Structure 1
Amino acid sequence: MPTTDQLINEGLDAAYYADELDLLLRRSATAAPDPLAGIRHAFGNDLADVFTWHGRREHDFAIGSFAVAGREVTVRWMDDGDPYDHHWQARLDGACVGGCPGPLWVKIADATDLQSVYRGGAPDEPWCDGCDGPGLAVG
């Protein structure tokens, strides 16, 4: 049976004995939830440091933003109850092709997609929140 030190030397981040697991589980159960856990998971710790949740909600979505170099990218977590359709969305600069005043959103999955939006691109097909139609960023 390898020791915990041997397991860590083989590349594991952490190793515990089974009798320590109960204590770890109790600590985890009583710890305050990390409000940035989803941000850290999708975009990494560095971007979590520049993220802020807004106090308001739009269309029942939690809204927040990343602020870097004086610019912000607004994002929201899309969860309409379908277990296979949760994802992040980023607000695009620009207007709907049909002239609708609603904001344009695009699906983002990771830091690369977020960078694309930050630079004015759209990593996926944008859509208009106002008319529920496909949109085209005119920024």
Structure 2
Amino acid sequence: MEECLARQEARTKAKQVPPDAVTRQAAGVPTPDQLIDEGFDHAYYADELDLLGLLLSRSATADPDPLADVRRTFGEDLAAVFAWHHEREHGFATGTFAVAGREITVRWMDDGDPFDHHWQARLNEACSGGCPGPQWVKVSDAADLQCVYLGGAPDEPWCDGCESHRLAVG
């Protein structure tokens, strides 16, 4: 209450609240004990709360966002049309961006090297090595996906089906 009365001093006379009104309002605020008596399980003064601890607790128990990496890399618009596949393909988590019957399949490349995690997009063209395996190319943003969609390859493609897992296509 003293802080409220002190703040009145900085206000213009037209915006000041009469001191007796401030005193009445402060007297009407229940104490934590009164709130417990009314049936609340817990009651605290705001300055007693460990807000960081509460935020950490809530975040630690929250379900992880399965599209967080998609949003971070490709943006909200593309995340809205993305779905993870239920089964892994060649050991990788795969998913598809799909709109009106057109789609791009991507996978998250994580071979255990913490410095080489990245996305790959499946190319529509067949492997030039003659095998039936799909070709993939590294993508790092929406512009790379657009390049793949338009038939390009923003990086050197490789084939999963050939004995050499990173056979560059020329």
With normalisation by structure 1, the TM-score equals 0.81
1:93 equivalent in alignment to 2:124: yes
Q: Is 1:78 paired with 2:112?
A: no
Distance 1:48 1:62, change over 3 A: same
Which consecutive segments of 4 or more residues in structure 1 shift more than 6 A? none
Deviation at 1:78, TM superposition (A): 0.3
State the one-letter code of the partner of 1:27: R
The residue aligned with 2:85 is 54
Bigger proportion of residues as strand: 1
What CA distance in whole angstroms lies between the structure 1 residues aligned with 2:66 and 2:74? 14
Q: Measure the CA separation in 2 of the matches of 1:134 and 1:100.
A: 13
Q: Within 2, Cα distance between the matches of 1:117 and 1:54?
A: 20
Structure with the greater relative contact order (CA < 8 A, sep ≥ 6): 1 or 2? 1
Any residues of structure 2 matched to 1:1-139 within 5 Å, and which?
19-131=50-162, 132=165, 133-135=167-169
Percent identity, aligned pairs only, is 72
Q: How many Å apart are 1:68 and its aligned residue? A: 2.4
The alpha-carbon deviation at position 96 of structure 1 amounts to 1.1
For residues 115 and 61 of structure 2, the distance between their equivalents in structure 1, rounded to whole angstroms, comes to 29
The answer as to whether partners of 1:95 and 1:135 remain within 8 angstroms in 2 is no
- Write the letter of the residue equivalent to 1:135: V
CA distance in 2, matches of 1:106, 1:125: 6
Q: Which runs of 5+ in 2 are unaligned?
A: 1-46
CA drift of 1:69 comes to: 3.7
Shift, 1:135, TM fit:
2.5
Point out the structure with the larger helix share: 2
Task: Choose 1 or 2 for highest CA Rg.
Answer: 2
Aligned residue pairs: how many? 120
**Is there any run of 5+ residues in structure 1 with no aligned partner, and where?**
1-16
